[in-house]
């Protein structure tokens, strides 16, 4: 494969780039090297373009076409250049880069090669592979092997010469030298791996048919070649020299055993899914006697299904396997090696699972095998025992000698320590105190204390003897008639070290229980206490903070977080339940009277507190009594509010606030209940009496929307069947009774909201939010699956009809314009728009389908709204009526106004979405197609231009078919964003994907070297629709534009002062006259 010579880069330059790519520690330097290598060796793939964009290439319209080396027009040209580079370079980084890039291009574009190109390419691969010498890295051989396997898979059905490549590989395995054989078996192993592994249909079409043909024609020969080569090693005296080759042969056979025979055969091999499914026609190729000598392969070989072997052969096979297993276990042949031990475990497991041993029950080897297997099993279990029981006599002797020498070691260590301290003091002219360095002290004394633990009494006696001696010396120095300060400093230093040793010995004697690092820090602060005392102190402080009037909100939140965390843990909640602080809190019934409950209006605080309290009550010994007493306090409060309502005092601020606190507290308690037993007690308390009372108070005694919302949220939590906590007996009517009162609540809510539909003050809180909660309530009660809906018509129960009627009426209360006009995105600042667009652009690149789908949904809403604005030149009719929902902030403007004047943003997102559709495989093409349709409708001319650009840069062989396929997408663009138009566009994309798969088309990215001058016409002569007339006009304009500009010219599109809908010009792009910083990333 001769590459066209000319102004080529030097080998030295390319080598330096590869070295920088793999060795440089600087990220920018590596990125720059990869960018330059991509210029010379482009892969024409979309993920590579994404990389280039991240480096700043292709970030403007004129850089849509990627720059590449002047002689590279197709992927096949890039392969030629890589072959030229590989053959001339001697750098190991360069050789690996070239082989890896060849593999990537082969996988992506082998299906686009003609038969002649594929055969030439395969021959060149085999030629290079044969020329590799023994110094070649194995990863380079692996890369070329994968390339050969892709060529075989693509050309197996269409080219006999390609199939013959495998015969060349057999020649290497059978008649080549040692390294040639090694390369041949590596290639065969990877071929079997890749054929058995499922590949994407766009890369390897008809892979199943090809794999079946390979299994029927060549796989048995591959297996026989490997088995024959392995047999030749059995009596080979040069086993060490052939070790690597033997391992490759064994790996090849393992891959063959793991081949997907079941999915490709119907010869009965699927009888047992636990066994290896070797085809029945391979019996003549397997010699059980020879293969038994290879332990690793034996674990696979023993897993072959029983029906594969005839009765006589199976009896000989099982007997031979058992005999060799007994020989290996009894004689412990290489069982000291961990890998062999594991292989024997695996062999016994598989062998005993597949075979029944009925053939051996009457033979002596059967009982020997059972005894050996039992012996091996016992040995395996004994390996798990404590180390002490497994010590050898030599180990125990060494330990005894060490213990006996501890006395001398401690004595010498003490003397050396004191001597070192004294010398250090003398050498530094009495100016340095060695005790100043505490870290050094602890490090020295920890070693001594560790030794002291073994013989504590003897160590203490040695230490006390040393203390007495040095203390006597110090006392004698002090009792002298005249002494100098310098004369007593040295004994003081020595005695000080001994005092520190005493401290270390005392610490060594203590056996502190194992605690977490957090407890150790707390015990250091709080004093020497145990875990229970520490928890008691913490709980006391938490209760103090919660009971403190006017406590800071941040302190409350931290205290409740700690209280909640302690109640969540399985062990911690049982520990704190038994401490005195919690017991007093429960006995004195103070759970409802803590100070913060009367002052805070934050629901999250109440919810977290009552969630913790319920968990503590649930694990206590007197669970039923405590919970009933706990709930009865709320029951008394509800009764008191009933009396207050009779006196019409609930409208007073204090009473209304207390009632909302009560609703929030009950809801907070209910939200934490997941146990059926706890919910059963709660249900018996609240239903039906107290729920009816709360219903009457909320609807008929108070007009505050906050009270209604708090009650509806409580009802929603009441009907939510989280963790399946709501379970009624089959004969229980409770489910229907609950639904009846819920139906009544929904009906009354609809009546209340209808009566307030004329108000204009705070409509969201008064109308829309209660309506949304009602929808949640009905959804929760249906999804809970505890209401027997089917029996209601039998008993003429109208609650179901009332509930549905109320829900449908609630839908009529909310204006249609308010729901359909994307109100929450109407007014945005430029900074917010920047954030949203940036997040959407990043999310579209995510490999997680749910993330890119969500971004697509956001973009669809934005650009559909923009299209409606550009089509009419004005806002939606009801927009100004709802403007009071949004805070008047400077520079805020409707999102349609911010987007409609910026064609660059629209084209950038159109190109990003269109490239994902054309060049990538996506699981969410439906989601991606929706915003693309809106953008294509907004930018019809650019959409046609870019579609033509993509087709013009494809190889001539696929251009005609691609024009038809993409033409279906282009022709589905309409001037209206109707549902049927969107569906037609999505169906065209689906048909495009089907066409490129059926015709083995794999697109290449547009580059500076692969554009043709072909005229692209997407019109359909059989279609006379209005869209075809529009497409024809677009084609003429794009053709004129394309004929009058160079390849790198920037697409201009519609002039800024022209309105896309033919009326007045759109509003200015930006209020300030210049683009905002928010879209700078799209420049």
pLDDT tens digits for 787-805?
888 788 888 888 988 998 8
Whole-number Å distance between alpha carbons of 547 and 550? 9
Q: HEC string of 284-309?
A: HHCCHHHHCCCHHHHHHHCCECHHHC
Whole-number Å distance between alpha carbons of 206 and 204? 7
Q: Please give the pLDDT value at position 577.
A: 87
Whole-number Å distance between alpha carbons of 234 and 1060? 82
Could you tell me if residue 332 is left (phi over 0), alpha (psi between -120 and 50 degrees) or otherwise beta?
left
- Assigned token pair, 1036: 């003429």
The answer to whether 506 touches 452, Cβ cutoff 8 Å, is no
The answer to whether 65 touches 1048, Cβ cutoff 8 Å, is yes
Closest CA to 8 of 88, 109, 64, 63: 88
Whether omega before 688 lies within 30 degrees of 0, making that bond cis, reads yes
- The label of the residue with tokens 């194995």 reads 138
- List all residues 6 or more positions away from 645 whose beta carbon is below 8 Å from its beta carbon: 696, 697, 700, 701
Whole-number Å distance between alpha carbons of 130 and 639? 94
Beta bridge partners of 750: none
Q: Please give the pLDDT value at position 711.
A: 93
Whole-number Å distance between alpha carbons of 797 and 784? 20
Distance of CA 1063 to the CA centre of its chain: 50
* Residue 829 neighbours by CB distance under 10 Å: 16
Q: From residue 93, how far is each of 41, 80, 688 by CA, in Å?
A: 15, 19, 78
- Assigned token pair, 847: 């490999």
The kind and range of the H/E element at 893 are strand 893-894
Q: From residue 294, how far is each of 282, 289, 339 by CA, in Å?
A: 19, 10, 13
Beta bridge partners of 304: 276
- List all residues 6 or more positions away from 544 whose beta carbon is below 8 Å from its beta carbon: none
The answer to whether 617 touches 627, Cβ cutoff 8 Å, is yes
Whole-number Å distance between alpha carbons of 142 and 151? 14
Whether omega before 271 lies within 30 degrees of 0, making that bond cis, reads no
Whole-number Å distance between alpha carbons of 670 and 530? 35
Rg from Cα positions in the chain = 41
Number of H helices, E strands in the chain: 48, 2
Q: How is residue 66 annotated by DSSP?
A: B
Helix axes 406-427, 438-452, angle to 10 degrees: 160
Distance of CA 1067 to the CA centre of its chain: 44
Q: Please give the pLDDT value at position 156.
A: 86
* Phi and psi at residue 165, to the nearest 5°: -60, -35
Whole-number Å distance between alpha carbons of 486 and 541? 54
Outline where DSSP puts E strands in 665-717.
none
Strand, coil or helix: what is 828?
Answer: strand
- Assigned token pair, 681: 């007690």
Mark 311-324 as b/e (b = at least 16 C-beta within 10 Å): eeebeebbbebbeb
* Residue 819 neighbours by CB distance under 10 Å: 11
Whole-number Å distance between alpha carbons of 595 and 611? 17
- Assigned token pair, 205: 């079409």
Which class for 567: exposed (0-12), middle (13-18), buried (19 or more C-beta within 10 A)? buried
Strand, coil or helix: what is 276?
Answer: strand
The answer to whether 664 touches 720, Cβ cutoff 8 Å, is no
The answer to whether 863 touches 903, Cβ cutoff 8 Å, is no
Whole-number Å distance between alpha carbons of 348 and 31? 52
- List all residues 6 or more positions away from 1064 whose beta carbon is below 8 Å from its beta carbon: 873
Q: Please give the pLDDT value at position 985.
A: 92
- List all residues 6 or more positions away from 422 whose beta carbon is below 8 Å from its beta carbon: 490, 493, 494
Closest CA to 700 of 749, 667, 737: 749
* Residue 439 neighbours by CB distance under 10 Å: 7
Q: What is the pLDDT of residues 246-257, one digit of tens each?
A: 778 878 887 887
The answer to whether 129 touches 1017, Cβ cutoff 8 Å, is no
The answer to whether 452 touches 501, Cβ cutoff 8 Å, is no
The answer to whether 229 touches 178, Cβ cutoff 8 Å, is no
H-state helical runs in 479-552: 485-509, 517-526, 531-547
Q: Are strands 893-894 and 827-828 parallel, antiparallel or unpaired?
A: antiparallel
Beta bridge partners of 423: none
* Phi and psi at residue 828, to the nearest 5°: -135, 150
* Residue 56 neighbours by CB distance under 10 Å: 11
Q: Please give the pLDDT value at position 1020.
A: 60
Whole-number Å distance between alpha carbons of 809 and 869? 31
The answer to whether 603 touches 597, Cβ cutoff 8 Å, is no
Whole-number Å distance between alpha carbons of 902 and 713? 44
Residues in the chain, pLDDT under 50: 1-6, 48-63, 241, 264-274, 288-295, 386-388, 390, 820-825, 877-889, 1041, 1043-1049, 1054-1083
The answer to whether 410 touches 401, Cβ cutoff 8 Å, is no
Beta bridge partners of 1007: 66
Q: Please give the pLDDT value at position 249.
A: 82
The kind and range of the H/E element at 827 are strand 827-828
* Residue 824 neighbours by CB distance under 10 Å: 10
Whole-number Å distance between alpha carbons of 176 and 494? 79
Closest CA to 1079 of 906, 907, 938, 905: 905
- List all residues 6 or more positions away from 455 whose beta carbon is below 8 Å from its beta carbon: 403, 406, 407
Q: Please give the pLDDT value at position 95.
A: 92
Whole-number Å distance between alpha carbons of 474 and 862? 90
- Assigned token pair, 214: 């390979």
* Phi and psi at residue 1054, to the nearest 5°: -65, 140
- Assigned token pair, 765: 């809180």
């Amino acid at each position: 494969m001769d590459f066209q010579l000319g102004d080529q880069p030097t080998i030295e330059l390319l080598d330096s780039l590869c070295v920088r790519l793999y060795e440089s520690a600087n990220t920018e330097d590596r990125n720059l090297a990869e960018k330059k290598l991509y210029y010379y060796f482009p892969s024409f793939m979309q993920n590579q373009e994404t990389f280039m964009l991240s480096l700043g290439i292709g970030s403007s319209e004129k850089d849509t076409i990627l720059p590449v080396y002047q002689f590279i027009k197709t992927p096949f040209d890039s392969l030629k250049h890589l072959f030229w580079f590989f053959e001339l370079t001697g750098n190991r980084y360069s050789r690996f880069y070239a082989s890896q890039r060849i593999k990537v291009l082969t996988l992506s574009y082998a299906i686009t090669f003609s038969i002649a190109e594929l055969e030439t390419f395969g021959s060149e691969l085999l030629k290079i592979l044969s020329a590799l010498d023994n110094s070649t890295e194995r990863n380079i051989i692996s890369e070329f092997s994968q390339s050969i396997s892709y060529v075989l898979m693509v050309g197996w059905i269409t080219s006999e010469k390609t199939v013959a490549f495998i015969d060349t590989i057999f020649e290497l395995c059978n008649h080549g030298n040692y390294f040639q054989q090694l390369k041949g078996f590596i290639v065969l192993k990877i071929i079997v791996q890749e054929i058995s592994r499922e590949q994407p249909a766009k890369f390897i079409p008809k892979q199943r048919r090809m794999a079946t043909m390979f299994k029927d024609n060549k796989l048995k020969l591959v297996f026989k070649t490997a088995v024959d080569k392995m047999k030749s090693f059995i009596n080979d005296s040069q086993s060490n020299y052939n070790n690597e080759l033997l391992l490759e042969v064994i790996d090849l056979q393992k891959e063959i055993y793991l081949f997907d025979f079941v999915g490709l055969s119907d010869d009965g091999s699927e009888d047992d899914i636990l066994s290896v499914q070797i085809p029945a026609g391979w019996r003549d190729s397997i010699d059980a006697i020879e293969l038994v000598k290879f332990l690793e392969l034996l674990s696979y070989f023993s897993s072959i299904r029983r029906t594969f072997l005839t009765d006589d052969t199976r009896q000989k096979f099982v007997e031979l396997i058992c005999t060799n297993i007994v020989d290996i276990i009894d004689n412990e042949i290489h069982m000291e090696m961990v890998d062999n031990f594991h292989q024997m475990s695996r062999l016994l497991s598989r062998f005993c699972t597949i075979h029944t041993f009925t053939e051996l029950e009457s033979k002596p080897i059967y009982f020997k095998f059972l005894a050996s297997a039992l012996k091996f099993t016992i040995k395996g279990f004994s390996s798990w025992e404590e180390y002490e029981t497994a010590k050898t006599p030599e180990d125990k002797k060494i330990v005894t000698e060490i213990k006996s020498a501890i006395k001398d070691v401690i004595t010498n260590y003490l003397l050396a320590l004191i001597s070192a301290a004294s010398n250090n003091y003398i050498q530094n002219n009495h100016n340095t105190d060695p005790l100043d360095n505490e870290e050094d002290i602890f490090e020295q004394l920890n070693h001594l204390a560790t030794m002291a633990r073994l013989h504590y009494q003897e160590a203490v006696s040695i230490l006390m003897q040393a203390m007495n001696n040095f203390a006597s010396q110090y006392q004698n120095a002090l009792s002298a008639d005249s002494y100098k300060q310098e004369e007593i400093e040295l004994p003081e230093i020595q005695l000080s070290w001994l005092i520190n040793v005493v401290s270390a010995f005392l610490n060594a004697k203590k056996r502190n229980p194992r605690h977490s690092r957090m407890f150790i820090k707390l015990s250091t602060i709080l004093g020497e206490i145990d875990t229970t005392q520490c928890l008691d102190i913490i709980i006391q402080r938490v209760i103090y903070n919660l009971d403190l009037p006017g406590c800071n909100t941040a302190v409350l939140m931290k205290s409740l977080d700690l209280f909640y965390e302690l109640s969540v843990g399985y062990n911690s909640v049982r520990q704190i339940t038994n401490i005195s602080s919690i017991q007093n809190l429960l006995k004195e019934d103070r759970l409802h009277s803590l100070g913060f409950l009367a002052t805070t209006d934050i629901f999250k605080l109440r919810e977290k507190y009552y969630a913790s309290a319920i968990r503590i009550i649930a694990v206590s010994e007197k669970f039923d009594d405590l919970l009933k007493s706990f709930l009865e306090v709320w029951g008394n409060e509800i009764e008191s509010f009933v009396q207050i309502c009779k006196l019409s005092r609930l409208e007073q601020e204090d009473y209304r606030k207390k009632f909302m606190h009560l609703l929030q507290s009950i809801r907070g308690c209910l939200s934490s209940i997941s146990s059926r037993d706890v919910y059963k007690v709660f249900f018996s308390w609240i239903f039906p009496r107290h729920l009816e009372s709360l219903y009457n108070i909320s609807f008929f005694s108070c007009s505050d929307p906050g009270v209604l919302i708090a009650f509806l949220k409580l009802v929603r939590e009441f009907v939510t069947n989280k963790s399946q906590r709501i379970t009624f007996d089959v004969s229980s009517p409770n489910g229907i009774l609950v639904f009846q009162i819920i139906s009544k609540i929904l009906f009354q809510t609809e009546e209340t909201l209808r009566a307030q539909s004329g108000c204009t003050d705070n409509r969201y809180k008064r109308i829309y939010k209660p309506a949304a909660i009602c929808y949640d309530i009905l959804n929760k009660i249906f999804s809970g699956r505890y209401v027997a809906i089917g029996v209601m018509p039998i008993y003429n129960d109208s609650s179901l009809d009332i509930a549905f009627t109320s829900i449908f009426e609630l839908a009529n209360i909310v204006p249609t314009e308010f729901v359909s006009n994307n109100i929450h995105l109407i007014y945005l600042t430029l900074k917010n728009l920047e954030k949203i667009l940036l997040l959407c652009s990043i999310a579209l690149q995510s490999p997680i389908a749910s993330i890119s789908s969500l971004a697509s949904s956001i973009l669809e809403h934005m650009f559909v709204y923009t299209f409606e604005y550009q089509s009419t030149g004005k806002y939606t009719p009801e927009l100004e009526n709802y403007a009071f929902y949004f805070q008047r902030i400077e520079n805020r403007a409707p999102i349609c106004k911010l987007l409609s004047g910026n064609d660059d943003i629209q084209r950038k997102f159109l190109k990003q979405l269109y490239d994902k559709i054309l060049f990538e495989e996506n699981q969410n093409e439906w989601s991606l197609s929706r915003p693309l349709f809106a953008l294509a409708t907004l930018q019809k001319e650019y959409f046609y231009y870019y579609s033509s650009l993509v087709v013009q840069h494809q190889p001539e062989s696929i251009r005609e078919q691609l024009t038809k396929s993409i033409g279906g997408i282009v022709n589905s663009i309409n001037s209206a964003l109707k549902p049927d138009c969107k569906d037609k566009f999505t169906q065209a994309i689906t048909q495009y994907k089907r066409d490129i798969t059926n015709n083995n088309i794999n697109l290449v990215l547009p580059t500076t070297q692969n554009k043709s001058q072909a005229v692209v016409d997407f019109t359909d002569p059989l279609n006379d629709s209005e869209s075809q007339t529009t497409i024809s006009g677009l084609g003429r304009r794009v053709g004129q534009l394309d004929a009058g500009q160079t390849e790198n010219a920037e697409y201009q599109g519609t002039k800024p002062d022209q309105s896309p809908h033919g009326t007045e010009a759109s509003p200015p792009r930006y209020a300030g006259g210049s683009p905002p910083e928010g879209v700078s990333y799209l420049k």
